[in-house]
């Protein structure tokens, strides 16, 4: 009877990218036959769990049933909720739930391997970790190793990177609160240690392979580590970082070298260009120059590098076309150099070339050409 409520989502959100198949009627009937048993079992289990929940049953048996159901369908968020309520109830009845919480970590780990993009599993794990911390059994350091493994499977996993930053945040909090009896210097040392490891981690992820997630994380880490490094008493403990984090200028030079390598590896990798625009425009770097002339010198030097690369790209292109990202970067840099870019013939010329080689975005370039906007970003 309730026909209108059947709308189903066979391949949604977490299951992108499944090849289309036109199944025959025979195949469809076969599937229906196969699914009969599965559906009966699944519905029984669902009803059993929801009945137990509605009768406020917080027993081991109920808990085990939810494990079974979540193994079959980790998207069932109401069951995750029920499971958390069971644990809460045990806790308020003075039952030791640490073992169970560790079990939660195992269950969710197994599920994340199969469903790495399922929001509910990630957020359940976060809930469990906070619970463990409140019981003085923090797991943050182990968790960092686990998320490193998760990111090995998919280096751009959005959840994975967010989770990594979340874990680092909490390691920091734990470090600074655990050492409250120790002095501030030791706390700073601990924070530099954690963050420099993260910095090295991003370095290892941007070598030879496009990974904007790592570049992005780097943009978060640099100002943070720099600030900590300033406060650090004994900088010689970090011989590799010391010359890099000497000043925003030394950092800029170090990062510009990395970017140069990146753009020569693949001039079409937009990640590198976005990062370059950050380096050349963010106030962390720009405001640290001793004089405008120093800033202009760096810009001119970068303009030369990009123009050179563009010439190489043109040689490689069958029609002798410019590289789109090189042109965009050249326009950005000249705009940063020039007080009145709208009158600059060279910039106009580059914009006209972009209109030809990148027609998808021609209206944006037209707007730029007509002075409707000056984009100080790539």
Stretch 168-227 residues interacting with another protein (CB under 8 A) = 210, 212-213, 216-217, 219-220
- Name residues whose C-beta falls within 8 Å of residue 347's C-beta, 6 or more positions apart in sequence: 331, 334, 335, 338, 341
| Binding flag, residue 154, another protein (CB under 8 A) | no
By rule CB under 8 A, what count of residues binds another protein? 76
Closer Cβ to another protein, 66 or 277, answer by number: 277
Residue 294: φ, ψ to 5°: -60, -45
Burial state string for 192-227 with b = 16 or more CB within 10 A and e = fewer than 16 = bebbbebbebbeebbeeebbebbbbbbbebbeebbe
| Binding flag, residue 73, another protein (CB under 8 A) | yes
| Binding flag, residue 26, another protein (CB under 8 A) | no
Which of 167, 228, 176, 243 is CA-nearest to residue 201?
167
Q: Which of 48, 75, 242, 246 binds another protein (CB under 8 A)?
A: 75
Closer Cβ to another protein, 311 or 356, answer by number: 356
CB 355 within 8 A of CB 362: yes
x-marked contacts with another protein along 126-145 as a string, rule CB under 8 A: xx--x---------------
Residues 334-363, interacting with another protein (CB under 8 A): 359-363
Report the alpha-carbon distance of residue 54 to residue 20 in Å, rounded. Answer: 40
Give me the half-sphere count of Cα atoms (radius 13 Å) on the Cβ side of residue 99: 4
CB of residue 87 vs another protein: minimum separation in angstroms?
12
Angle (CA) 166-171-173 rounded to 5° is 95
- Count of Cβ atoms closer than 10 Å to residue 142 Cβ: 11
| Binding flag, residue 91, another protein (CB under 8 A) | no
Listed ranges 71-79, 243-251, 288-296, 338-346: which one lies at the site for another protein (CB under 8 A): 71-79
Report the alpha-carbon distance of residue 332 to residue 327 in Å, rounded. Answer: 9
x-marked contacts with another protein along 281-320 as a string, rule CB under 8 A: -x--------------------------------------
CB of residue 178 vs another protein: minimum separation in angstroms?
23
Closer Cβ to another protein, 105 or 238, answer by number: 105
Residues 221-280, interacting with another protein (CB under 8 A): 269-271, 274, 277-278
Closer Cβ to another protein, 102 or 126, answer by number: 126
Q: Which of 67, 89, 123, 141 binds another protein (CB under 8 A)?
A: 123
Closer Cβ to another protein, 47 or 64, answer by number: 47
- Count of Cβ atoms closer than 10 Å to residue 1 Cβ: 4
């Amino acid at each position: 009877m309730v026909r209108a409520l059947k709308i189903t989502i066979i391949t949604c959100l977490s299951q992108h990218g499944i090849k289309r198949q036109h199944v025959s009627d025979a195949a469809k009937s076969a599937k229906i036959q196969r699914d009969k048993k599965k559906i009966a079992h699944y519905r029984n289990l669902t009803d059993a769990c929801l009945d137990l929940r509605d009768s406020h049953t917080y027993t081991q048996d109920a808990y085990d049933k939810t494990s079974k159901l979540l193994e079959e369908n980790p998207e069932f968020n109401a069951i995750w909720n029920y499971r958390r309520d069971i644990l809460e109830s045990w806790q308020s009845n003075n039952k030791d739930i640490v073992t169970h919480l560790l079990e939660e970590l195992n269950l969710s780990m197994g599920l994340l391997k199969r469903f790495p993009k399922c929001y509910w599993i990630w957020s359940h794990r976060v809930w469990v970790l906070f619970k463990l911390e409140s019981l003085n059994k923090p797991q943050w350091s182990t968790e960092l190793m686990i998320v490193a493994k998760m990111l090995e499977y998919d280096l751009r996993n959005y959840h994975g990177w967010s989770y990594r930053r979340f874990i680092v945040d909490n390691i920091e909090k734990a470090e600074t609160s655990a050492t409250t009896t120790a002095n501030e210097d030791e706390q700073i040392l601990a924070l530099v240690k954690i963050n420099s490891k993260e910095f090295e981690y991003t370095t290892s992820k941007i070598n030879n392979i496009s990974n904007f997630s790592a570049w992005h994380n780097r943009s978060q880490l640099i100002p943070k580590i720099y600030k900590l490094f300033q406060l650090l008493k004994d900088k010689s403990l970090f011989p590799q970082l010391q010359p890099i984090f000497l000043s925003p200028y030394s950092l800029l030079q170090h990062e510009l070298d990395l970017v140069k390598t990146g753009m020569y590896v693949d001039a079409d990798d937009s990640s590198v260009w976005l990062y370059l625009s950050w380096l050349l425009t963010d106030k962390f770097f720009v405001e640290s120059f001793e004089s405008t002339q120093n800033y202009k010198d760096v810009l001119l030097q970068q303009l030369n590098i990009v123009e050179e690369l563009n010439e190489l790209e043109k040689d490689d292109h069958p029609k002798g076309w410019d590289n789109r990202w090189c042109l965009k970067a050249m326009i950005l840099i000249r705009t940063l150099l020039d007080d009145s870019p709208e009158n600059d013939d060279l910039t106009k010329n580059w914009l006209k070339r972009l209109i030809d080689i990148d027609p998808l975005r021609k209206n944006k370039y037209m707007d730029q050409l007509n002075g409707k906007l000056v984009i100080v970003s790539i």
